Structure 1
Amino acid sequence: MKRQSLQFSEPHKQAILEGAKVQSRRILKPQPTKFTTAWYADAADSGRWVAMGPSPDNPSELRRTSSWVRCPYGKSGETIMLADEAGEPFATAVVVGVRIQRLQNLTESDARAEGTQALYQSSALLPGVPLQTAFALMWCERYGSHAWAANPWVWVVEYRHSSPYENLESQ
């Protein structure tokens, strides 16, 4: 599977280059069609994930609710390309973690790792708003007014900016 680059708007690009954004959420496609409560990584291949949910016969038992899926952005230890909105690479990063979670399970530290504080620190638009709320507003700006309420399953990709794109060709 060819890995997709992670694309970012200009403010997010700057937050990455300043080290303030080290985590990104992307909607998992396709979303599971059956009731799902958790996702598990394959012990033999951390790049593969399967959804699990309660069994109709015995709700205390979990059963598969999806086929195996792979994160299109890579897995821990891999190098990924970071690109701007036009698809032009601006840096590489090393993936340090991947997980699947519900969008609304975002924590305060997740919102900070998403660069939310850096993006709104100097803004008079949202003074005193909790970081999760500021992130939810940004999410709706990008994906539509009901995108936060839909609470989709998302890929959470944690990364560390490693080098500007220009240095790749000389390595």
Structure 2
Amino acid sequence: MADRPILLSAPMVRALLAGTKTQTRRILKPQPIGDVIQYGWSRDDGAHWTDQSFASYRLRIWAGDRLWVRETWQGLSFGDYLPTNSSQCEVRYAATDPCADLDAEARGYPWRPSIFMPRWASRLTLTVTDVRIERLQDISEADARAEGINGIWDGTPFSPDPTATNKFTVNIGVGNLNAPTAAGVYRMLWEWINGEGSWEANPWVVAYTFTVHAGNIDQIARAA
């Protein structure tokens, strides 16, 4: 078992807190090459997956590992609320701060990127229960919902355009459908994050399933 950080955006953090996100997908690196990979994958031991070309992938994250969530944040000193690096401070999280959408001057403090969140400031811990390798477009409707998608496109929080309509055209392998499916919304989210054409590229991804624990990873360990 290993403890590792994982970066998640504000919408995904809110989905974790709401109890609607139990999966995440990350691009497999390096991507397999050659025609033989069409025959699929086999798990050859507790830490490797092997494709039919006998290329073995030792995944960085495996079942049983714990992930502490890194999100956009700021540490504020007690009393005067000046930004600080100290663990003895109040931590604000952009995903749930009511002042998050104000500019830094109006809010009184800037945000720090998630990549700079230290372990002590994390408030969410994920325990990985399953790991599998698949094509991105193989995601099912149930898996899309497990990604935190509710299947309704309202323009937020997955669109940079707050005026987006609640109907949109998606292509989920059976033609163009004007329907707000969870898989369709996930496709739009993926392309928003990874860029135009990233869905059509259909890369191999690692799908992680996990349970969510509200609390710092070290506090949870001490309580246990």
TM-score by length of 2: 0.62
Aligned 8 A contact 2:152 2:182 in 1: no
* Cα offsets for 1:30-80 (capped at 9, x unmatched): 0012221212112xx32211112xxxxxxxxxx42x2x212222x222222
Q: 1:112 to 1:121 in 2, by over 3 A?
A: farther
Q: 1:91 to 1:154 in 2, by over 3 A?
A: same
Q: Number of matched residues?
A: 156
Q: 1:162 to 1:8 in 2, by over 3 A?
A: same
Aligned to 2:191, what secondary structure does the other structure show? helix
* 1:164 is aligned to 2:215: yes
**What is the aligned-residue identity percentage?**
29
Q: State the partner residue of 1:29.
A: 29
Q: State the partner residue of 2:203.
A: 152
Unaligned stretches of 5+ residues in structure 2: 73-113, 157-163, 168-178
Q: State the partner residue of 2:145.
A: 112
Query: As a proportion of its length, which structure holds more strand?
Result: 1
The within-5 A match list for 1:1-171 is 4-35=4-35, 36-37=37-38, 38-42=40-44, 45-52=45-52, 63-64=53-54, 66=55, 68-73=56-61, 75-84=62-71, 86-87=114-115, 88=117, 89-117=122-150, 120=153, 125-127=165-167, 128-165=179-216, 167-168=219-220, 170-171=222-223
Measure, in 2, the Cα distance between the counterparts of 1:119 and 1:5. 30
Question: Shift of the alpha carbon at 1:116?
Answer: 1.0
**Bigger radius of gyration among the two:** 2
Amino acid at match of 2:47: G
TM-score by length of 1: 0.80
Unaligned stretches of 5+ residues in structure 1: 53-62
Measure, in 1, the Cα distance between the counterparts of 2:152 and 2:212. 17
Q: 1:118 to 1:108 in 2, by over 3 A?
A: closer
Question: Shift of the alpha carbon at 1:83?
Answer: 1.7
Aligned to 1:72, what secondary structure does the other structure show? coil
Question: Shift of the alpha carbon at 1:4?
Answer: 4.4
Question: Shift of the alpha carbon at 1:126?
Answer: 3.1
Aligned to 2:60, what secondary structure does the other structure show? coil
* Cα offsets for 1:134-156 (capped at 9, x unmatched): 10000000001010000000000
Aligned to 1:5, what secondary structure does the other structure show? strand
